[in-house]
Structure 1
Amino acid sequence: MTDHEISGLQALRALIRGELPSPSIGQTMGLTAVAVEPGRITLEARPDGRHLNPAGAVHGGFAATCLDGVAALALFSTLETSTAHSTVDLNVKYVRPLTAGQTYRVEGWVVERTRSLAICDAQVLDAAGKLCAKATTTFVIRS
């Protein structure tokens, strides 16, 4: 690690404080980071008209992207910013449909991490705290 490198946790805290710009995927998905601690992060997600399928419902890919993203950020909170990681698999279970214009809480946490592999869980909750979707994601970590 160089003197100028910060940890993923430090970067995420700076993002929440508004000291770093939101990544473009966050802007596209309507995601905002609201809380982070080592191995755990909470986002807010607000699907809109950009996220609708041809039937006019929020596309399932919106929830899947939120789940994969929040799980990756939970892992990122335990890594140095220069440590590459990528999704190996994503297993999503849809419980309730999402509604455009509603705000959802998206939570991710590290279940287990080794030097080269991590398993993370994630969930999307509605304003009443009801589960809408959940996922388990496996990541490869490249040191």
Structure 2
Amino acid sequence: MSEPTIDWAAQQQASLQRSIAGGGKPGLARMEQLAGKSGREILEAMMSGELPYPPMNETMNMTLLEVDNGRAVFQGIPLPQHYNPLGTVHGGWFSTLLDSALGCAVQTTLPAGRSYTTAELSINIVRPASHKTGPLRAVATLIHGGRQIATAEARIEDEAGKLYAHATTTCFVFKVPTT
């Protein structure tokens, strides 16, 4: 007996609707909203709508679908506004989807009062995409989570498991300034 297939586009829409139903909207969280929350708790609060989600998610037509310790899943559906002059999805769209998943995989492991920023991002796009490609999913996992440096890897695949891009990152981990 085969597993039931999940409609990825419907799953992305349901995730966004769940956030909106919880009061979520694009914006920036205030420091007092983040205080005392671990990195994973912050991401879960964005997914539930308790905290705003990044405005860039709307621009890039992407959504955070899942988080677990050392793991994050983003999904995006490329649209014609994401095209380069040659008529395929711009490399920056792939980079943004990958960087978001990679950073959030790191963030899921951070205690309250710690944050990160991308120090290095290396991507390989192995196949072009268009609006006809449909949903593409970036799954990222932590490789190393140190006190000051964290590394992670990710892959972008379609619903059939076809690889479109893969990446690694190095993130600088730091104490959140209190002033």
Instruction: Tell me the alpha carbon deviations over residues 22-43 of structure 1, each in whole angstroms, 9 at most, x when there is no partner.
Output: 2112121111111110110111
Compute the displacement of 1:21 (Å).
2.4
TM-score, normalization by structure 1: 0.90
1:41 partner amino acid: A
Q: Which residue of 1 aligns with 2:162?
A: 130
Structure 1 residues 81 and 95: alpha-carbon distance in aligned structure 2, compared to 1, 3 A threshold: farther
Instruction: Tell me the alpha carbon deviations over residues 75-106 of structure 1, each in whole angstroms, 9 at most, x when there is no partner.
Output: 11111454231111111111111222511111
**Contact map agreement 2:77 2:135 (CA 8 A) in 1:** yes
Matched residue SS, 1:97: coil
Q: Which residue of 1 aligns with 2:74?
A: 43
Bigger relative contact order, structure 1 or 2 (CA pairs below 8 A, ≥6 apart): 1
Q: Structure 2 residue aligned with 1:110, among 138, 142, 145?
A: 142
**Which structure dedicates a bigger proportion of its chain to strand?**
1
Pairs within 5 Å for 1:33-112? 33-80=64-111, 82-100=113-131, 102-112=134-144
1:39 partner amino acid: G
Q: Distance in 1 between matches of 2:146 and 2:64?
A: 25
Q: Distance in 1 between matches of 2:174 and 2:161?
A: 35
Indicate yes or no: 2:11 matched with 1:7. no
> Percent identity over the alignment?
35
1:50 partner amino acid: Q
* Pair member with larger Rg: 2
Q: Distance in 1 between matches of 2:80 and 2:114?
A: 35
Matched residue SS, 2:124: strand
1:19 partner amino acid: E
**Contact map agreement 2:157 2:163 (CA 8 A) in 1:** yes
Q: After the TM superposition, which segments of 4 or more aligned residues of structure 1 sit over 4 Å from their partners?
A: none
Compute the displacement of 1:52 (Å).
0.6
2:171 partner amino acid: F
Indicate yes or no: 2:56 matched with 1:25. yes
Q: Which residue of 1 aligns with 2:24?
A: none
**Which structure dedicates a bigger proportion of its chain to helix?**
2
